[in-house]
Amino acid sequence: MSVVREISPNVRNMKPLDYEILARRQNLIEKELRQGVRKPFKEVLDVSMSDLQMSGLKPLSFVRQVLAACLYPELLNSNKLPVDVRQRAQRLLGECAGASVGSYTATKGIPEIVQRISEYITRRDGGVPCSPENIFISSGSQWSLLNILKVLLFESSPKRGILVPVPSHVTTTLSIPSLGGVVIPYYLSEEQGWQLQVEELQRALDSAKAWCKPVTLYIINPGNPPGQIQSRKSMQEVIQFVSEKRLFLLADEVYQNLIYGENSEFVSYKRVLGEMGHPLSDTVELASFHSASKGFTAECGLRGGYVELVNVDPAVMKHIYALFSKDSCGPVLGQMALDLALNPPQPGDPSYPLYHTETEHIRKSLLHNIKRVSEILNSLPGFSCQPVQGGSFAYARLFLPPSAIQKAEELGLKPDTYYCVRLLEEAGVLTLPGSEFGQKEGTHHMRFCITTPQERMEEVLRRITNFHTQFMRNVSETEADRV
């Protein structure tokens, strides 16, 4: 018997995801393709994640030029790079210890970058003030969120509860039990375009009070998996609600710069809170998260995110500082990517024209994609898809026939996982099932990313259409046979 068989129950209780089932099959299929095995497709199209560059969208030249010059300062001597690129790189290098991206930084990040993030926030929020003291940069926003959860959740009796939307981005939910907390699900209303309803928050809270102590509310806006955007009015209601119920508000706002709907506008919780004035604006405790991964910069691989804390007691801030400092610091190039994402070239700068062309190209592709996704999925029997207003994903409802559900059960798979496995194997499209994100009992969904080049989106939709038509036809034949 080995020592580590007796491992932390917190770690032991972490469940593997259905994603793993799909990823394993994907690996197998790709191996077979490399070995020359004939399939109805030449490559797997992976639209399971929000990862613009993996999907084939190009990184922004401005960001890459500045970062390359920071890494290899010889490039500063070449006039191949635009002058504003060289100036930005020079300035960033001057902000690094030893003028090198190879040095550790302060725990909270390079102070000048933190300062510029606070200026971005103030600008974004129409002047609601932001103090750099309240910002922590880390290796991606996921990590910041984990750290804040570590502060709010711990083993206690009754257990501490966190209100989490259903459906919800999965990794967040994963960590909660391992920290000793419990998930209190609240359901987004699919029929109302996945909007959050305060009555539902109230219901979830009431039902939870018997078995846990609710301490915090987690919101994703713009949403993931569904790409809804919350209205200002709804946010005001939520702020009233958390204030009355004394909940800490966690606002995951990483998709704030991916907004598509004509009448949709992103407003941050920080801003709405600030505009609501005293006493709310001085008392409601808020953590807002943002990232270099999500947005047109989309540098997921460089790992840069931040959290801004609002109205948190200074004594607690000290402990949060201590917690972040255990992790040394976020990667310097991720910190810089965040800075460049939030402070892009402005009209008049030498880099602006190219920057503008590149971002407009991405914007147009994404607008095209969500239009096509809506058209096509809503025309297929057995599918329906609420409008995508922001974010990276379409989240479509699947109406699976009883025989497909039965077949899935026979195979020990959840029905939508079964659908996704078959879509992967037969059409070479990797998506994720709704069961991964939570869904209303008896409903089924499929998530796929729409932040991908137009041609790729078209090919994905073509494959889905063909597969789905065939799938439904076979299924109805089976069902007819049975009658």
Ligand X SMILES: Cc1ncc(COP(=O)(O)O)c(C=O)c1O
Whole-angstrom Cα distance, residue 321 to residue 319? 5
* Helix 269-276 and helix 232-245, axial crossing angle in degrees, nearest 10: 70
- Output 159 or 407, the one with its CB closest to a copy of itself: 159
Instruction: Retrieve residue 156's tokens.
Output: 């206690």
- Output 6 or 199, the one with its CB closest to a copy of itself: 6
The three-state secondary structure class of 385 is strand
Instruction: Retrieve residue 353's tokens.
Output: 């024209």
Whole-angstrom Cα distance, residue 201 to residue 24? 37
- Least distance to a copy of itself from the beta carbon of 336, Å? 10
Residue 98: contacted member of ligand X, a copy of itself, none (CB under 5 to 8 Å, by partner type): a copy of itself
- Least distance to ligand X from the beta carbon of 395, Å? 12
Whole-angstrom Cα distance, residue 100 to residue 94? 8
- Least distance to ligand X from the beta carbon of 278, Å? 31
- Output 344 or 387, the one with its CB closest to a copy of itself: 344
Residue 411: contacted member of a copy of itself, ligand X, none (CB under 5 to 8 Å, by partner type): none
Let me know: does 194 contact 223? Beta carbons within 8 Å: yes
Residue nearest to ligand X (CB): 140
- Least distance to a copy of itself from the beta carbon of 141, Å? 10
Q: What is the DSSP letter of 57?
A: P
Residue written as token pair 């699919």 = 190
Residue 254: contacted member of a copy of itself, ligand X, none (CB under 5 to 8 Å, by partner type): ligand X
Please classify residue 276 by burial: count the beta carbons closer than 10 Å to its beta carbon, then call 0-12 exposed, 13-18 middle and 19+ buried.
middle
- Output 150 or 372, the one with its CB closest to a copy of itself: 150
Instruction: Retrieve residue 412's tokens.
Output: 């020990």
- Output 98 or 277, the one with its CB closest to a copy of itself: 98
Instruction: Retrieve residue 478's tokens.
Output: 């089976």
- Output 80 or 482, the one with its CB closest to a copy of itself: 80
Strand partners, 457: none
- Least distance to ligand X from the beta carbon of 138, Å? 9
Residue 399: contacted member of a copy of itself, ligand X, none (CB under 5 to 8 Å, by partner type): none
Strand partners, 166: 187
- Least distance to a copy of itself from the beta carbon of 105, Å? 7
Identify the CA nearest to 388 among candidates 367, 412, 419.
Answer: 367
Residue 291: contacted member of a copy of itself, ligand X, none (CB under 5 to 8 Å, by partner type): ligand X
Residue 305: contacted member of a copy of itself, ligand X, none (CB under 5 to 8 Å, by partner type): ligand X
Binding site for ligand X (CB under 6 A): 50, 140-142, 169, 220, 224, 252, 254, 291, 293, 300, 305, 328
Identify the CA nearest to 436 among candidates 47, 224, 169, 50.
Answer: 169
Residue 151: contacted member of ligand X, a copy of itself, none (CB under 5 to 8 Å, by partner type): a copy of itself
Q: Which helix (H) or strand (E) holds 216?
A: strand 212-220
- Output 175 or 478, the one with its CB closest to a copy of itself: 175
- Least distance to a copy of itself from the beta carbon of 49, Å? 7
Whole-angstrom Cα distance, residue 305 to residue 242? 25
